[in-house]
Amino acid sequence: MSNINYLELCVDCVKKAVGLGAEWCDVSAGTGRDISVTIEKSGIKAADAGQGEDLAIRVYVRGGMGYAAVSGRDRRDISEAVERAVALAKEATPDPDFKRLPAPEAAPEVEGLFDDQIAGMSVGDAVRIAAANLEAGKRLEPEANLSGHVGLSVGEGAFASSTGVALSSRATDIGVDLEALLKPGGDRGHFFDFDFGRFLEDCRLDDVATSAVLGARRFLGAKRIKSGRMTLVLGPLASYGFLGGIVGAANAESIQRGRSYLCDRFGEVIASPHLTIVDDGLIPRGLHSGAHDGEGTRRRPLTVIDRGRLVSLLHNSYTAGKACTESTGHGTHSGGIGPTNIRPALGERPAAEILREVKEGIYLECGELRADPASGDISASIDFGFLIRDGQLVYPVESAMIGGNIFDLLAHLDAVSSDAREEPGILMPTLRLQDVQIAGAE
Amino acid sequence: MEELARYLCDLAKQRGAEFADVRVLHRRAESILVQDGRADKLAASTDRGVGVRVLVGRCWGFASADSLERSRGEQCVDDALALARASQEFVSDPAMIAEAAPVVAEDRRPPEIAPGAMPVKEKIARLLEYEHSGRAAGGQAVVNSIVSYSDGMREEVLANTAGTLIRTAGARAVVTCLFVASDGTIRQRGMEHRGILGGAEILRRTDPEPFSVAAARKALALLKARPAPAGRFAVIFHPSITGLLVHEALGHNAEADAVWAGQSILEGRLGEELAPPAVSIYDDSTVPGAFGSYAYDSEGTPGRRRPVIEKGRLVGFLHSLETAAKFKAAPTGSGRAESYDCRPIVRMSNTFMERGTVPLEEMLRGVERGIYLMDGHWGYVFVQKGQFICHAGQARMIERGRLGDMLRDVSISSMTLDTLRKIDAVGDDFEMKMPGLCGKEGQSAPTDCGGPHVRVGDVIVGGHAEE
* pLDDT value, residue A1: 52
Of B389, B449, B421, residue with least CA distance to B278: B421
Instruction: Nearest chain B residue to A227 by CA: give it.
Output: B231
Does A438 fall in a domain? yes
For B462, which of A46, A72, A401 is closest by C-beta distance?
A: A401
Q: What's the gap in Å between the CA of B3 and the closest CA on chain A?
A: 19
d(C-alpha A249, C-alpha A263), whole Å:
10
The mean pLDDT value for B22-31 works out to 96
Which of A51, A53, A152, A181 to mutate against chain B (most B CBs within 10 Å)? A51
Does A154 fall in a domain? yes
Each residue's pLDDT tens digit, B404-446: 999 998 999 999 999 999 999 999 999 999 999 999 999 999 9
The mean pLDDT value for B320-335 works out to 97
- Within 8 A of B384 by CB-CB distance, chain A residues are 179, 181, 188, 190
What's the domain count of chain A? 2
d(C-alpha B87, C-alpha B90), whole Å:
6
For B261, which of A49, A147, A257 is closest by C-beta distance?
A: A147
A118 plus A202 within the same structural domain = yes
Q: Return the number of CB contacts < 8 Å for A and B.
A: 274
Q: Describe the crossing of helices A123-140 and B70-87 by its angle, rounded to 10 degrees.
A: 30
For A44, which of B90, B231, B265 is closest by C-beta distance?
A: B90
A413 plus A270 within the same structural domain = yes
A422 plus A442 within the same structural domain = yes
The H or E element that residue B415 is part of is strand B402-415
Each residue's pLDDT tens digit, B142-171: 999 999 999 999 999 999 999 999 999 999
A13 plus A30 within the same structural domain = yes
* pLDDT value, residue A2: 60
Alpha helices for B404-444 (secondary structure H)? 416-421
What's A79's domain CATH number? 3.30.2290.10
- Within 8 A of A65 by CB-CB distance, chain B residues are 40-42
Q: Which residues contact A319 (CB under 8 A, 6 or more apart)?
A: A252, A253, A256, A313, A327, A337
Distance of alpha carbon A442 from its chain centroid, rounded? 35
- Within 8 A of B413 by CB-CB distance, chain A residues are 381-382, 399-401
A275 plus A334 within the same structural domain = yes
Which of A401, A407, A408 to mutate against chain B (most B CBs within 10 Å)? A401
Q: Residue B1: what residue type?
A: M
Rg (CA), chain A: 24
Q: Please state whether the predicted TM-score (pTM) of the whole model is above 0.90.
A: yes
The answer, for B204 touching chain A at a CB cutoff of 8 Å, is no
- Give the residue extent of every domain in chain B: 2-223, 226-461
Angle at B457 (CA atoms; ends B454, B461), nearest 5 degrees: 90
Q: Residue A137: what residue type?
A: G
Sites in chain A below the pLDDT cut of 50: none
Contact B232 A47 (CB under 8 A): no
Per DSSP, the residues of B130-199 read HHHHHHHHHGGGEEEEEEEEEEEEEEEEEEETTS-EEEEEEEEEEEEEEEEEE-SS-EEEEEEEEEESSS
Q: Which residues contact A59 (CB under 8 A, 6 or more apart)?
A: A17, A22, A24, A25, A65, A66, A67, A85, A86, A88, A89
A301 plus A325 within the same structural domain = yes
d(C-alpha A427, C-alpha A421), whole Å:
6
A86 plus A210 within the same structural domain = yes
A183 plus A79 within the same structural domain = yes
d(C-alpha B53, C-alpha B16), whole Å:
12
Contact B409 A228 (CB under 8 A): no
A-contacting residues of B 314-343, CB under 8 Å? 341, 343
**Res. B50 pLDDT band, cuts 50 70 90:** very high
Count Cβ neighbours within 10 Å for each residue of A142-170 and write b for 16 or more, e otherwise: eebbbbbbbbbbbbbbbbbbbbebebebe
For B231, which of A67, A134, A439 is closest by C-beta distance?
A: A439
For B86, which of A50, A52, A127 is closest by C-beta distance?
A: A127
Contact A404 B60 (CB under 8 A): no
Range of the domain at A51: 6-217
For B462, which of A67, A380, A398 is closest by C-beta distance?
A: A380
A276 plus A249 within the same structural domain = yes
The answer, for A397 touching chain B at a CB cutoff of 8 Å, is no
A302 plus A431 within the same structural domain = yes
Q: What's the gap in Å between the CA of A348 and the closest CA on chain B?
A: 31
Contact B464 A437 (CB under 8 A): yes
A238 plus A152 within the same structural domain = no
Q: What's the gap in Å between the CA of B232 and the closest CA on chain A?
A: 6
The answer, for B227 touching chain A at a CB cutoff of 8 Å, is yes
Q: Is the pLDDT of residue B37 over 90?
A: yes
End residue of a domain, out of A163, A188, A217 = A217
Each residue's pLDDT tens digit, B236-259: 999 999 999 999 999 999 999 999
Does A1 fall in a domain? no
* pLDDT value, residue B91: 87
- Within 8 A of B228 by CB-CB distance, chain A residues are 379, 403
Contact B228 A404 (CB under 8 A): no
CATH topology for B2-223 is PmbA/TldD fold (3.30.2290)
Q: Is the pLDDT of residue B467 over 80?
A: no
Q: What's the gap in Å between the CA of A108 and the closest CA on chain B?
A: 32
Does A57 fall in a domain? yes
The answer, for B136 touching chain A at a CB cutoff of 8 Å, is no
* pLDDT value, residue A4: 82
The mean pLDDT value for B186-215 works out to 96
Beta strands in A340-425 (DSSP E): 342-344, 360-366, 377-381, 384-389, 392-396, 401-405, 413-423
* pLDDT value, residue B183: 95
A30 plus A16 within the same structural domain = yes
* pLDDT value, residue B173: 97
Per DSSP, the residues of A250-310 read TBHHHHHTT-STTTT-TTSB-S-TT--EEE-TT-TT-TT--SB-TTSPBP--EEEEETTEE
CA atoms in the 13 A half-sphere facing the CB of A371:
26
B-contacting residues of A 133-192, CB under 8 Å? 134, 145, 147, 179, 181, 183, 188, 190
d(C-alpha A321, C-alpha A331), whole Å:
12
End residue of a domain, out of A192, A217, A242 = A217
The H or E element that residue B373 is part of is strand B369-382
For A439, which of B261, B262, B462 is closest by C-beta distance?
A: B462
